[in-house]
C-alpha cells in the first residue's frame, strides 16, 4: 500500500483492512481514523516451456521443463504443481508427468503439454504445448553360436542366434550366401546343416520397421570334410566252387550328400587263390574250397575323407554238378532194348570224376531190365519205366542230384481162336461158345484183354451174351458168331475169328388174363381179355372170338375187348396162328354177366315253387327203355303242402317244404331204383314308393317318406339309409330325418324285410344337396403393435349347424396403411412404419359353400426399437485390413444412418471414411457402431472388441527324416495375447512333392489359447535320393498367412537293400538281339537318373559263339522309374547252349550280374504243363515263336489221337493250357499223362517268300489241377 498516495497492490489473496488517518494541523486536531476492508482475489500466472528439444529418435530420452511466471514482477511464485502429458501426435513416447522425462517409443510427431494447477493465490494458468518430431532409431545385430565357434564338418549342425540391441526392431531371418561350400539354414531359427565342404557366409538380417532401421550381420562358416563309415549289406557269407556271390559295401555319409568316392574290393591273405573278385562290382567267384578274406575300401572326394576299410570272411564250399540225358530215344518194345546215356556238367572249371550209375525206379521196374553201369534197357512188359541216373561225389564236388527219364515199352499182338463144337440149335434153346488167346511169344505173359462175342450175320436170328458167349436162338436159319479180344497193358487186340451155327423151329403155348382181374361183369359193363404167348410176339398174331351161351355180348377180334348186353354166360376163345419159327396154339375161358344197376333223373331240376302254382315233372333212367315201371308220391316234412298225380303233375297248396318220391320197379336185366327231392314253396313280393322331396342344402334338412303295395298285411317296417354319392348327409333310419353335410348327390334307400305274407323290398332315390353360406369373423389379442414387430390376427369361418367345415383358404389383406406393414397368407402382420392399418379377411366359395361377407379389424402401429449388430470379424492381423459393417433389425434403408468409431484399449488401429480398419499395433481396440434413428425407429448403438495379433510358426526340428514326425507350433504375437474364439487355419505345403509329406488339412487355434501344435509327417517312400525343402504355410482369410521352412531327408537310400540293381536274364536264339532289363528292388525308383556301366563278365563262355557279343556300354534308369533296358547281340552255331555273363557297376549301388543264354535253334519249348493256376508252366511255352507267326501246333495222346490243334501259336491269346479243342464244340480238360507235340513253322525272317516247313516234336507231361 502506498501510504501517501493510497495505491494498494495485491500480493496474496485474502482480505486486508485499510485505515485512513489524518494528522492535525494548525487549525484542526487529528480526526478519528476510518477503515475499509479490501478483498484480494487470485491472480493468474503465465506458464511457458523452457526446453529446446524439438527432435528425437526412437529409444532416446529428453526432459521437458516449464516455468510459471507470476503476474507481478518480484511477486511470490505460484505453488501449483506443473504436470506433463502427451496430448496427440502420430508418434508415440512415454512421459513422466512429474519430471517431464520423455522416452521416444514410436516414430512420428507428438505434442507435449504442460499444465499447472492453481494455489491459494493463483488460478491455473493457460496450458502450453511443444511439438517434438521422433525419427527411427538405429539398431545393430550380434551373433552367437551354439557350439561356441563357426567351424563345421560335412553332416554336422549348429544353431546361430542373432540378437538386436533394441526390443521390437522387427523379425530376424537367416540365410546362407553361396561360397566354395554349401549348407542349409532354417529361415526363422538359424539352425544350420553343413552339406558340402568349403566356406559359406551366414547372413542374419532384420528389415526393421517404422521405429527402427534395418540391420545386417555376416559370419563366415568353414566346413571341413566329413568321414563316412563303411558296412556290409550282403547277408550271404559263403558260396560254392564255380558259384558266385556279390559282396556289397555300403558307404553311409553323415551329410545329406552321398560320398562319391569309389568303393573297391580286394582279397587278402594266402587263401586268395580259392576265389576271384571283381574289384569294382564285388562279385566273388569260387575257384576251390576254403576261406578268403574280402576287404572293402573307399576313396575320398571333395566332401569326404576315405573311411576306415572293413573286411569279411567268405567260405567257399563244395558245389554240385548237374546231370542231363543225351539219348534221343525214349521208347522200345517188349524184348527190345535202348541205351540210356547220362551227361555230367560241372559248375566249376574241373569236371567231376564221380562214377555215373543207372537204376529203375518205382513199381514199373518189372517191365524192363537195366544194365547199372552201361545203361542198356531191355523191355519185358509193355508200359513205362522210370530210369534214374546218379553220380557219386569226388574231392571237388558233391554227389549230383539224380535225374530220371520215362521210357515207354510198347504192346505186342496175341492170336485168337474159337474152341466150341456146337454147330446146330432150335429156336428158344441156348448154347455157349468160348475163345482162346495165345501170346505171340512162347512163355510170355498172356493178354488180359477181355474176349467178347457177337453175331455178325446169317439168315436166322439169336441173342448172345458178349461176355460169356451164351447164345439164345430166336429165329430159324443160320447165324455167324464172331469172337474178339481187346488189347491190354501188354498186347494190342488180335484178329477176330468166326463160327457158323444152324437154328430150327420151336413150340409155343398161350395164357389168358382179364383187365378187371376176373371173368365176371354186369349188363352194359365191359372188360378186356388178353392172351400171351410163351415166346412173346415172335409166335404169330393172336385173334379172339365168342361162343353162344345163356347171356349175350360182343368181342373185338383183335383187342379182346368184351361188351356185355344180357345177363348169363358166354365162352371166350384166343387163337395164335404160329409161323416159320413157332407152331400154332389156342385157349378158352367162360365169362359170367350179372344184372346191372340203373339211376333215375327228374326234370326240370327246380326245387322251388310259389304257393298255388303247378309243375309238370318227367323221369328218365340210365337203363333207357328197360328197367321197369315209374311211380310218384309226396311226403310232407314241414309247414307246406302239395299233391302229385301218376303222370308227375305237382300242385303247390301252402308255403313250406314237401318231399317228392319217384320209384322204378326193375326187370330181367336191371335191379329196381328210387329217388327223392325236397320242394320249397315260397312267399309273394311287394313294391315300395318314396313320396318325400329330393332336394335340400348343406346344413339344411328334409324328412324321407315311403309307401308299400302290401294289402293283406303291412309288409314289414320301412327303414331309411344313405348309400353314398358325390355329396354326404346324415339320416335317422326310423324317422327319415336327413341333414345335408357336403354338397352333391346322395342315394336314399328305403327298405323292408317283409313279413309272413310278403318278401322284403328295397327302393332308392337320388337326393340333391345344394351349397350353403358360412359366416366370417376376424380377431386379435391386442389392437396395437410397434414397428419392427410381428402380430398374428385370426380369421374364422363357421359353417351352418350340421354342415361340413368350409375348405376354401382364408385370404388376409390390408385395406389401408399398406405402406406401414405387410400381412402374410397366414395372417401374420409385420410392422415397418407407424400409423393405422385396416386388416380384412375374406374367403372364396368351395364345393359346399358360397363366398361369405368379408370381416375387418383396425390396428395401431407405434414407433419401435431397433437392434444394431456388427457383422465384421472381431479379429485381424497387424498387416491386414478389414471393413467394418453392421446391420439393423429395421432392415436395409430403415432406422437411420450407421457410423463407426474406434477407441484404443491396448492396441492401435485407425478407420477411414470407407470404414476400412487398419491395425498398427497388436492388442485390442473397441469398435462402436451407431445408428441415428428415423421416424419409425429409435437410435441405437453397439460395440465390439477387435483383437489385433501377429502370427509366428516354428518347427521343433529343421530336418525331418522320412518315416518320422516333427512337432510344429502356430502362436500369436505379442506373447500372452489370445483370440476371442476358435480360428481354423488351412495348412498347406510348397516346393516339396505333396506325396512326400502329410499335414493335417487344417488346425484350430482354440479361443483363449496363445498357440496350437500340430504334427508334420515325412512320409516313407520307395524313392531314392529325394531329399528336398518344404515350406509349411498356415492361412486364414482374416489373419493372413505365416510360413516356416524345413528339410525332408531321404531315408530310402540308407537301406542298403534298396541300393541294389539287378541285371535280368534272357535268351538269344541263333543270331539275334535281346532286350534285357535292369531293375531296382521291387517298388523302388529313383528321383534322379542312374547310369549303370555294362561289360561282359569273365565267367562268360564265348568260345562257342560266332563272334564277340555286342552290348550297350551303359544303361540308364530314368528319374521316376525303377527299370531300364539295354540290347545285346550274339550268335551261335553250336548245339551246346552258351552263357554270357553281363556285369555292371554304378556309384552307390551294388549291381547283380545277369546271364544271357545263346541257343543255336529257332525255338525252345518248356517240356511240361501244370495248369494248376500257380502261374508256373500253366500253359505250354514256346520261346521265340513270335518271330514265326506262320506256324501250327498239334498235340496227340499216346494213342495217336489229336487232342489239340491250332494255327498262329503265340503264347498269349493263342496257347495250350491243358484244354482240348479237337473233339466237339465244347473244350474239355485233358487227363494227366504223356502227350506229344508237333510244331510246324515256316521261317520268313530272311525270305518273305519262303514256303518250306520245319517241324519240331517231342513229348511233354500234362498235370491238371489237383
CB 154 within 8 A of CB 196: yes
In a domain? residue 340:
no
Q: Where does the pLDDT of residue 757 fall: very low under 50, low under 70, confident under 90, or very high at 90 and above?
A: low
Residue with the three cell numbers 461158345: 433
Q: What is d(CA 946, CA 927) in angstroms, rounded to the nearest whole number?
A: 7
List, for residues 513-528, the tens digit of each pLDDT value. Answer: 999 999 999 988 899 9
> Could you tell me the residue range of the domain that residue 1185 belongs to?
1165-1263
Q: What is d(CA 554, CA 561) in angstroms, rounded to the nearest whole number?
A: 8
**Of the candidate ranges 259-263, 270-274, 281-285, 454-458, the one whose mean pLDDT is the lowest:** 270-274
- Asked which of 257, 288, 317 is the last residue of a domain, the reply is 317
Average pLDDT on 1159-1187 reads 82
Query: How is residue 270 annotated by DSSP?
Result: G
The x, y and z cell numbers of residue 145, run together, are: 553360436
Shared domain check, 1154 and 1060: yes
881-883 sheet: strands from edge to edge? 881-883, 916-921, 908-911
Average pLDDT on 121-149 reads 90
In a domain? residue 665:
yes
Q: What is d(CA 1229, CA 1217) in angstroms, rounded to the nearest whole number?
A: 9
- Going by C-alpha positions, the residue among 1095, 994, 993, 991 that lies closest to residue 1045 is 991
CB 223 within 8 A of CB 198: yes
Specify the pLDDT at position 425. 87
Q: Which residues, listed in sequence order, are joined to residue 430 by a DSSP beta bridge? A: 472
Residue 380 has pLDDT above 80, yes or no: no
List, for residues 764-795, the tens digit of each pLDDT value. Answer: 999 999 998 899 999 999 999 988 889 999 99
Shared domain check, 1022 and 1114: no
The x, y and z cell numbers of residue 85, run together, are: 502429458
| Rounded percentage of the chain residues whose pLDDT exceeds 90 | 34
Cα 609–615–616 angle (5° rounding)? 155
List, for residues 46-94, the tens digit of each pLDDT value. Answer: 898 988 878 888 888 999 999 988 988 778 889 889 998 898 888 889 9
Residue with the three cell numbers 542349409: 184
Q: What is d(CA 1009, CA 976) in angstroms, rounded to the nearest whole number?
A: 9
List, for residues 1120-1142, the tens digit of each pLDDT value. Answer: 999 999 999 998 877 788 899 99
Shared domain check, 1098 and 1147: yes
In a domain? residue 1083:
yes
- Going by C-alpha positions, the residue among 982, 1046, 1037 that lies closest to residue 1018 is 1046
Shared domain check, 220 and 156: yes
Residue 444 has pLDDT above 70, yes or no: no
List strand residue ranges (DSSP E) for 305-355, in order. 310-317, 322-325, 331-333, 337-339, 342-345
More confident residue, 871 or 639: 871
CA atoms within 13 A on the CB side of 222: 3
List, for residues 186-202, the tens digit of each pLDDT value. Answer: 989 999 998 889 999 99
Specify the pLDDT at position 756. 58
Specify the pLDDT at position 722. 92
CB 626 within 8 A of CB 671: no
Shared domain check, 303 and 249: yes
**Of the candidate ranges 97-101, 143-147, 603-607, the one whose mean pLDDT is the lowest:** 603-607
- Give Cα 140 distance to the centre of its chain: 62
Specify the pLDDT at position 1125. 95
Shared domain check, 152 and 127: no
Q: Where does the pLDDT of residue 612 fall: very low under 50, low under 70, confident under 90, or very high at 90 and above?
A: low
Shared domain check, 779 and 766: no
Name the H helices within 918-980: none
CB 1196 within 8 A of CB 1219: no
Residue 641 has pLDDT above 80, yes or no: no
Specify the pLDDT at position 651. 82
Residue 356 has pLDDT above 80, yes or no: yes
Q: What is d(CA 826, CA 795) in angstroms, rounded to the nearest whole number?
A: 9
SS3 content of the chain, % helix, strand, coil (to 5): 0, 55, 45
Q: Phi then psi for 1265, rounded to 5 degrees? A: -60, 140
- Going by C-alpha positions, the residue among 1013, 1152, 1148 that lies closest to residue 1081 is 1152
The x, y and z cell numbers of residue 567, run together, are: 345177363
In a domain? residue 313:
yes
Shared domain check, 781 and 766: no
Specify the pLDDT at position 829. 95
**Of the candidate ranges 7-16, 355-364, 610-619, 939-948, the one whose mean pLDDT is the lowest:** 610-619
- Going by C-alpha positions, the residue among 1061, 1065, 1076, 1074 that lies closest to residue 1141 is 1065
CB 892 within 8 A of CB 817: no
Shared domain check, 549 and 536: yes
Average pLDDT on 540-550 reads 88
Long-range CB contacts (< 8 A, 24+ apart) of 822-827? 823/793, 826/792, 827/792, 827/793, 827/794, 827/795
**Of the candidate ranges 519-533, 549-563, 606-620, the one whose mean pLDDT is the lowest:** 606-620
- Give Cα 373 distance to the centre of its chain: 67
Q: Where does the pLDDT of residue 443 fall: very low under 50, low under 70, confident under 90, or very high at 90 and above?
A: low
In a domain? residue 1148:
yes
Q: Where does the pLDDT of residue 1023 fall: very low under 50, low under 70, confident under 90, or very high at 90 and above?
A: very high
Q: Which residues, listed in sequence order, are joined to residue 1234 by a DSSP beta bridge? A: 1261
Specify the pLDDT at position 758. 66
Residue 1189's alpha-carbon distances to 621, 1212, 1242, 1245, in angstroms, are 94, 12, 8, 10
Average pLDDT on 311-324 reads 86
| Rounded percentage of the chain residues whose pLDDT exceeds 70 | 98
In a domain? residue 902:
yes
In a 10 Å sphere around its CB, with 0-12 CB exposed, 13-18 middle and 19+ buried, how is residue 34 labelled?
A: exposed
What's the CATH code of the domain at 858? Answer: 2.60.40.1080
In a domain? residue 1105:
yes
Residue 790's alpha-carbon distances to 20, 362, 779, 831, 889, in angstroms, are 87, 106, 15, 6, 12
What's the CATH code of the domain at 109? Answer: 2.60.40.10
Domains identified in the chain, total number: 12
Q: Which H or E run contains 787?
A: none
Which range, 17-21, 540-544, 1149-1153, has the best average confidence (pLDDT)? 1149-1153
Residue 1263 has pLDDT above 60, yes or no: yes
Average pLDDT on 858-879 reads 89
Specify the pLDDT at position 54. 84
List, for residues 817-864, the tens digit of each pLDDT value. Answer: 888 899 999 999 998 888 899 999 999 998 888 999 999 999 998 888
- Going by C-alpha positions, the residue among 1083, 1113, 1082, 1084 that lies closest to residue 1096 is 1113
Cα 254–256–260 angle (5° rounding)? 80
The x, y and z cell numbers of residue 903, run together, are: 477407441
DSSP result, 687-699: -EEE-S--EEEBT
In a domain? residue 357:
no
- Asked which of 174, 201, 224 is the last residue of a domain, the reply is 224
Shared domain check, 167 and 104: no
What's the CATH code of the domain at 881? Answer: 2.60.40
Shared domain check, 1245 and 1185: yes
Q: Where does the pLDDT of residue 442 fall: very low under 50, low under 70, confident under 90, or very high at 90 and above?
A: low
List, for residues 420-438, the tens digit of each pLDDT value. Answer: 877 888 888 899 999 888 8
Q: What is d(CA 435, CA 447) in angstroms, rounded to the nearest whole number?
A: 13
Which range, 348-352, 717-721, 1103-1107, 1232-1236, has the best average confidence (pLDDT)? 717-721
Q: What is d(CA 131, CA 48) in angstroms, rounded to the nearest whole number?
A: 14
Shared domain check, 982 and 1021: yes
- Asked which of 736, 770, 804 is the last residue of a domain, the reply is 770
Q: Where does the pLDDT of residue 316 fall: very low under 50, low under 70, confident under 90, or very high at 90 and above?
A: confident
**Of the candidate ranges 558-567, 1172-1181, 1223-1232, the one whose mean pLDDT is the lowest:** 1223-1232
Q: What is d(CA 1090, CA 1078) in angstroms, rounded to the nearest whole number?
A: 11
CA atoms within 13 A on the CB side of 841: 24
At residue 995, the 3 state secondary structure works out as helix
Q: What is d(CA 447, CA 441) in angstroms, rounded to the nearest whole number?
A: 11
Specify the pLDDT at position 638. 67
Cα 964–968–969 angle (5° rounding)? 165
More confident residue, 301 or 364: 301
Average pLDDT on 896-902 reads 92
Amino acid at each position: 500500500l502506498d501510504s501517501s498516495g493510497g495505491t494498494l497492490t495485491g500480493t496474496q489473496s485474502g482480505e486486508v483492512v485499510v485505515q485512513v488517518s489524518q494528522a492535525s494541523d494548525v487549525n484542526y486536531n487529528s480526526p478519528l481514523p476510518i477503515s475499509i476492508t479490501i478483498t484480494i482475489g487470485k491472480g493468474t500466472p503465465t506458464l511457458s516451456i523452457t526446453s529446446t528439444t524439438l527432435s528425437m529418435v526412437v529409444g532416446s530420452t529428453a526432459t521437458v521443463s516449464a516455468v510459471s511466471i507470476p503476474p507481478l514482477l518480484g511477486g511470490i511464485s505460484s505453488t501449483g504443481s506443473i504436470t506433463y502429458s502427451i496430448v496427440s501426435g502420430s508418434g508415440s513416447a512415454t512421459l513422466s508427468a512429474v519430471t517431464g522425462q520423455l522416452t521416444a517409443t514410436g516414430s512420428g510427431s507428438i505434442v507435449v503439454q504442460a499444465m499447472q494447477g492453481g494455489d491459494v493465490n493463483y488460478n491455473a494458468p493457460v496450458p502450453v504445448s511443444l511439438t517434438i518430431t521422433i525419427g527411427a532409431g538405429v539398431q545393430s545385430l550380434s551373433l552367437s553360436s551354439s557350439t561356441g565357434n563357426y567351424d563345421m564338418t560335412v553332416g554336422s549342425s549348429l544353431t546361430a542366434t542373432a540378437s538386436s540391441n533394441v526390443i521390437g526392431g522387427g523379425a530376424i531371418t537367416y540365410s546362407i550366401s553361396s561360397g566354395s561350400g554349401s549348407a542349409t539354414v532354417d529361415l526363422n531359427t538359424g539352425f544350420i546343416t553343413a552339406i558340402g565342404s568349403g566356406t559359406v557366409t551366414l547372413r542374419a538380417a532384420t528389415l526393421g520397421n517404422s521405429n527402427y532401421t534395418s540391420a545386417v550381420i555376416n559370419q563366415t562358416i568353414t566346413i571341413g570334410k566329413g568321414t563316412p563309415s563303411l558296412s556290409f549289406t550282403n547277408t550271404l557269407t559263403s558260396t560254392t566252387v564255380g558259384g558266385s556271390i556279390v559282396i556289397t559295401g555300403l558307404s553311409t555319409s553323415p551329410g545329406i550328400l552321398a560320398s562319391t568316392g569309389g568303393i573297391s574290393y580286394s582279397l587278402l591273405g594266402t587263401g586268395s587263390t580259392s576265389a576271384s573278385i571283381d574289384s569294382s562290382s564285388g562279385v566273388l567267384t569260387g575257384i576251390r574250397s576254403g576261406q578268403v578274406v574280402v576287404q572293402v575300401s573307399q576313396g575320398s572326394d571333395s566332401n569326404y575323407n576315405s573311411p576306415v576299410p572293413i573286411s569279411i570272411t567268405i567260405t567257399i564250399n563244395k558245389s554240385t554238378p548237374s546231370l542231363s540225358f543225351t539219348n534221343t530215344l525214349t521208347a522200345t518194345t517188349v524184348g527190345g532194348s535202348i541205351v540210356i546215356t547220362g551227361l555230367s556238367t560241372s559248375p566249376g572249371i574241373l569236371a567231376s570224376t564221380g562214377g555215373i550209375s543207372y537204376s529203375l525206379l518205382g513199381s514199373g521196374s518189372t517191365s524192363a531190365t537195366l544194365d547199372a553201369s552201361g545203361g542198356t534197357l531191355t523191355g519185358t512188359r509193355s508200359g513205362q519205366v522210370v530210369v534214374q541216373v546218379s553220380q557219386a561225389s569226388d574231392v571237388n564236388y558233391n554227389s549230383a542230384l539224380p535225374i530220371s527219364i520215362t521210357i515207354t515199352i510198347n504192346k505186342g499182338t496175341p492170336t485168337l481162336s474159337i474152341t466150341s463144337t456146337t454147330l446146330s440149335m432150335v429156336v428158344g434153346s441156348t448154347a455157349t461158345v468160348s475163345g482162346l488167346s495165345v501170346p505171340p511169344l512162347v512163355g510170355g505173359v498172356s493178354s488180359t484183354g477181355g474176349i467178347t462175342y457177337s453175331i455178325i450175320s446169317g439168315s436166322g436170328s439169336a441173342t448172345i451174351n458178349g461176355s460169356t458167349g451164351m447164345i439164345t436162338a430166336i429165329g430159324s436159319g443160320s447165324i455167324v458168331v464172331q469172337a474178339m479180344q481187346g488189347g491190354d497193358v501188354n498186347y494190342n487186340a488180335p484178329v477176330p475169328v468166326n463160327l457158323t451155327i444152324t437154328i430150327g423151329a420151336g413150340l409155343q403155348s398161350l395164357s389168358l388174363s382179364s383187365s378187371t382181374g376176373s371173368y365176371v361183369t354186369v349188363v352194359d359193363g365191359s372188360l378186356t381179355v388178353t392172351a400171351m404167348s410163351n415166346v412173346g410176339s415172335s409166335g404169330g398174331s393172336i385173334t379172339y372170338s365168342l361162343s353162344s351161351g345163356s347171356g349175350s355180348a360182343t368181342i373185338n377180334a383183335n383187342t379182346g375187348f368184351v361188351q356185355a348186353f344180357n345177363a348169363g354166360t358166354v365162352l371166350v376163345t384166343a387163337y395164335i396162328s404160329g409161323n416159320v419159327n413157332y407152331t400154332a396154339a389156342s385157349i378158352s375161358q367162360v365169362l359170367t354177366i350179372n344184372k346191372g344197376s340203373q339211376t333215375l333223373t327228374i326234370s326240370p331240376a327246380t326245387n322251388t315253387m310259389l304257393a298255388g302254382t303247378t309243375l309238370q315233372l318227367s323221369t328218365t333212367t340210365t337203363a333207357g327203355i328197360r328197367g321197369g315201371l315209374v311211380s310218384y308220391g309226396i311226403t310232407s316234412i314241414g309247414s307246406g303242402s302239395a299233391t302229385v298225380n301218376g303222370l308227375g303233375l305237382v300242385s303247390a297248396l301252402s308255403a313250406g317244404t314237401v318231399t317228392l318220391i319217384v320209384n322204378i320197379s326193375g326187370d330181367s336185366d336191371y335191379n329196381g331204383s328210387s329217388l327223392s327231392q325236397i320242394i320249397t314253396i315260397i312267399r309273394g313280393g311287394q313294391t315300395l314308393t318314396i313320396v318325400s322331396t329330393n332336394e335340400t342344402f348343406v346344413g339344411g334338412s328334409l324328412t324321407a317318406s315311403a309307401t308299400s303295395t302290401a294289402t293283406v298285411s303291412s309288409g314289414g317296417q320301412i327303414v331309411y339309409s344313405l348309400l353314398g354319392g358325390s355329396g354326404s348327409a346324415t339320416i335317422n333310419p326310423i324317422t327319415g330325418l336327413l341333414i345335408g353335410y357336403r354338397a352333391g348327390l346322395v342315394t336314399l334307400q328305403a327298405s323292408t324285410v317283409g313279413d309272413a305274407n310278403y318278401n322284403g323290398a328295397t327302393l332308392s332315390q337320388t337326393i340333391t344337396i345344394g351349397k350353403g353360406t358360412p359366416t366370417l369373423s376376424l380377431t386379435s389379442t391386442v389392437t396395437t403393435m410397434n414397428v419392427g414387430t410381428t402380430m398374428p390376427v385370426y380369421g374364422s369361418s363357421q359353417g351352418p349347424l350340421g354342415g361340413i367345415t368350409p375348405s376354401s383358404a382364408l385370404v388376409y389383406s390390408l385395406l389401408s396403411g399398406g405402406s406401414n406393414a405387410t400381412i402374410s397368407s397366414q395372417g401374420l402382420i409385420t410392422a415397418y412404419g407407424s400409423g393405422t392399418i385396416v386388416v380384412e379377411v375374406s374367403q372364396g366359395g368351395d364345393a359346399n359353400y358360397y363366398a361369405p361377407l368379408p370381416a375387418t379389424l383396425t390396428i395401431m402401429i407405434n414407433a419401435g426399437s431397433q437392434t444394431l449388430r456388427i457383422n465384421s470379424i472381431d479379429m485381424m492381423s497387424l498387416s491386414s485390413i478389414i471393413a467394418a459393417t453392421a446391420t439393423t433389425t429395421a432392415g436395409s434403408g430403415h432406422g437411420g444412418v450407421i457410423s463407426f468409431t474406434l477407441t484404443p484399449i491396448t492396441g492401435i488401429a485407425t478407420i477411414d471414411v470407407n470404414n476400412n480398419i487398419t491395425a498398427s499395433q497388436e492388442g485390442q481396440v473397441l469398435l462402436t457402431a451407431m445408428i441415428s434413428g428415423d421416424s419409425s425407429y429409435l437410435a441405437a448403438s453397439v460395440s465390439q472388441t477387435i483383437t489385433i495379433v501377429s502370427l509366428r510358426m516354428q518347427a521343433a526340428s529343421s530336418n525331418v527324416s522320412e518315416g518320422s514326425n516333427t512337432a510344429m507350433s502356430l502362436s500369436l504375437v505379442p506373447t500372452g495375447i489370445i483370440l476371442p474364439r476358435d480360428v481354423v487355419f488351412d495348412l498347406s505345403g510348397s516346393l516339396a512333392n505333396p506325396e512326400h509329406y502329410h499335414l493335417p488339412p487344417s488346425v484350430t487355434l482354440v479361443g483363449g489359447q496363445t498357440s496350437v501344435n500340430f504334427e508334420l509327417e515325412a512320409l516313407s517312400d520307395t524313392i531314392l535320393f529325394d531329399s528336398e525343402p518344404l515350406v509349411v504355410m498356415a492361412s486364414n482369410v482374416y489373419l493372413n498367412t505365416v510360413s516356416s521352412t524345413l528339410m525332408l531327408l531321404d531315408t530310402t537310400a540308407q537301406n542298403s537293400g534298396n541300393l541294389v540293381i539287378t541285371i535280368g536274364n534272357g535268351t538269344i536264339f541263333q543270331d539275334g538281339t535281346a532286350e534285357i532289363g535292369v531293375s531296382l528292388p521291387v517298388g523302388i525308383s529313383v528321383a534322379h537318373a542312374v547310369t549303370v556301366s555294362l561289360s561282359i563278365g569273365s565267367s562268360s563262355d564265348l568260345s562257342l559263339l560266332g563272334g564277340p557279343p555286342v552290348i550297350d556300354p551303359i544303361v540308364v534308369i530314368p528319374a521316376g522309374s525303377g527299370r531300364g533296358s539295354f540290347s545285346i547281340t550274339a550268335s551261335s552255331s553250336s548245339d551246346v547252349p552258351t552263357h554270357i555273363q553281363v556285369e555292371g557297376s554304378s556309384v552307390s549301388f551294388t549291381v547283380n550280374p545277369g546271364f544271357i543264354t545263346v541257343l543255336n535253334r529257332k525255338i525252345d519249348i518248356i517240356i511240361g504243363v501244370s495248369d494248376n493256376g500257380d502261374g508256373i508252366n500253366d500253359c505250354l511255352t514256346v520261346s521265340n515263336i513270335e518271330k514265326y507267326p506262320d506256324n501250327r501246333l498239334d498235340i496227340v495222346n499216346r494213342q495217336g489221337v489229336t487232342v489239340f490243334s491250332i494255327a498262329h501259336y503265340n503264347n498269349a491269346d493263342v496257347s495250350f493250357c491243358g484244354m482240348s479243342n479237337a473233339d466237339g464244340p465244347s473244350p474239355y480238360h485233358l487227363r494227366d499223362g504223356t502227350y506229344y507235340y508237333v510244331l510246324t513253322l515256316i521261317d520268313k525272317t530272311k525270305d518273305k517268300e519262303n514256303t518250306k516247313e520245319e517241324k519240331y516234336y517231342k513229348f511233354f507231361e500234362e498235370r491238371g489241377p489237383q
